[in-house]
Structure 1
Amino acid sequence: MLALFTDFGADDIYVGQVRVALLQHAAAGTPIIDVLHTAPNYDSQAGAHLLAALARWYPPDCVFLAVVDPGVGSERDAVVLQADGQWFVGPDNGLLSIVAARAARTRAWRIKWRPAALSASFHGRDLFAPIAAWVSRGELPPDKLVERRGLRVQLDAGDLAEVIYVDHYGNALTGLRAGNVPRNARLGIADADVEYARVFSDAMAGQAFWYENSIGLVEIAVNRGSAALQLGISVGDPVHVIGGGESAT
């Protein structure tokens, strides 16, 4: 299985080109799953926490093509990461580092191969896609990869007390793992102070609350409304844990 995680935009011209590149090199019949193409633009830190939360729902041996790459065309490395049986192909800019830091077993390779035709601005299509396809076939071509000790860019693997994604409902996902936040804690976000609710229907219509979402993260929502609009929040806004024992900020 190949899984795509990018900030390319689902409605732009880029995802289709990446999928064609994958199909040219992957084994026939390999499933290609669109995990997300609206990761926060240019934000490798938010993307790293979101990718780590999503990846655990995918099977062993899944190959993630993960691209949030504002440094494309620069001297940043291109890498392959194996983490607890899953595979990740992408830039070494912190995007893969949360997955790596939270894994029990990892291996890493620098991609030394460069195709004859390589767009300076589209490594997702020309460089990462062929490598991801070869990895999905069980191939680690020694003329294309050099094993090394780990990733060069490593972000803090602890919880991130910020908004990392806003979905089309206006729900704000944070980088806080819900298991680390007491249910009796309140969250401070912008000028709001919100309490926990188990599900949307436990809150009144129009009421803001936080809950544990389906991928295990703290999410701030409004029942039948948009938390982003009602509270005036966006990606990167800090979140403060108030009361309930230990603070995650």
Structure 2
Amino acid sequence: MILLFTDFGATGPYQAQMIASIRKAGYQGDVLSLFAEAPVFSPAAAGHLLAAYATDFPEGSVFLSIVDPGVGTDRRALVVKSDNRWFVGPDNGLLEQALRRDANAEAWEIVWRPDRLSASFHGRDLFAPIAARIKTNSVERDLKPIATEDLRTENGAAELSQIIYIDHYGNAMTGLVGANGIRRIRIKEVSLPLMRVFSDVAVGEPLAYVNANGLIEIAVNQGRADAYFGLTIGSQVMPLIG
């Protein structure tokens, strides 16, 4: 399948336009929206979210990944293969965490260009056709191999101590991995121990826990953590080991 991972938002024409571009390029299989509300204009934060959720999907899946505040500039267009899954998107840090998950990851620069390439919508004009061509096995001449070391930046830390996503319930997801020995989270001068389930605290009380995709979240039992703490995307948190 092809998964759409974007900061476009759930309304507006953009996701449908990308799906239409995928169909025009010859892929008629499943196209699903994974995230339409990835952290806006924040490739690094979005990249942690993308890497955490990618393993839910079968090997061979293609993640069409567009968080691209530098669209239209000379930043490269990339394809990364990691853990037998494909990631298509801009060279701005968005794909770095997915690449880091696999020591044998491969990377390519997209050298193909369509007849029509707008300055502001490479998701539709460039990345969507490449995602389709990967699934139809017709992409080989469109790509130039590059060294994965070139994509591993000093700023690409394996964890991100900030809020990267707030869901429908007001739960605030961090870029911290729960399996790394963290015992508590400090947020807005409040220290929260990691709990197992929401009901480990009273209704209306806050908690931290490891979510189903392995990232640490801040929540309020039957309430909204974003309102309780005044959280937004980018709010800082502090992991505590002891």
Q: Which AA in structure 1 matches 2:78?
A: V
Tell me, yes or no, if structure 1 residue 213 matches structure 2 residue 231. Answer: no
Q: CA deviation at 1:104?
A: 2.6
Equivalent residue number for residue 236 of structure 2 = 238
SS at match of 2:129: helix
SS of residue paired to 2:156: coil
Name 2:114's counterpart in structure 1: 115
**1:169–1:226 CA contact under 8 A, matched in 2:** yes
Q: Distance in 2 between matches of 1:153 and 1:105?
A: 13
Q: How many residues align?
A: 240
- Could you tell me which residue of structure 1 aligns to residue 166 of structure 2? 166
Q: Give yes or no for the alignment of 1:45 onto 2:44.
A: yes
Number of the residue aligned with 1:22: 22
Contact 1:188 1:241 in 2 (8 A): yes
The 8 Å contact of residues 108 and 145 in structure 2, kept in 1 or not, is answered as yes
Deviation at 1:237, TM superposition (A): 1.5
- 1:243 and 1:82 map into 2 onto residues whose CA distance is 33
Partner of 2:177: 177
Identical aligned residues as a percent:
44
1:191 Cα deviation from its structure 2 partner:
3.1
**Equivalent residue for 2:7?**
7
2:179 alignment partner, SS class = helix
The Cα offsets for residues 186-234 of structure 1, whole Å up to 9 and x where unpaired, read as 2111232222221112221000000010111000000011100011111
Q: Where do 5+ consecutive residues of structure 2 fail to align?
A: none
Give the aligned residue type for 2:172: A
Q: CA deviation at 1:84?
A: 1.9
Tell me the equivalent position of 1:31.
30
Alignment of structure 1 residues 32-111 onto 2, 5 Å:
32-111=31-110
Q: What's the TM-score, normalizing by structure 2?
A: 0.95
**Preserved CA contact (<8 Å) 2:44 2:156:** no
- The 1-side partners of 2:175 and 2:59 are apart by 23
Query: Following superposition of structure 1 onto structure 2, how do residues 128-167 of structure 1 map, counting pairs within 5 Å?
Result: 128-142=127-141, 144-150=142-148, 151-152=150-151, 154=153, 155-167=155-167
Q: CA deviation at 1:243?
A: 4.8
**Separation in structure 1 between the aligned mates of residue 60 and residue 190 of structure 2, nearest angstrom:** 42
**Alignment partners' CA distance in 1, 2:224 and 2:213:** 20
C-alpha spacing 1:219/1:189, structure 2 compared with 1 (3 Å): same
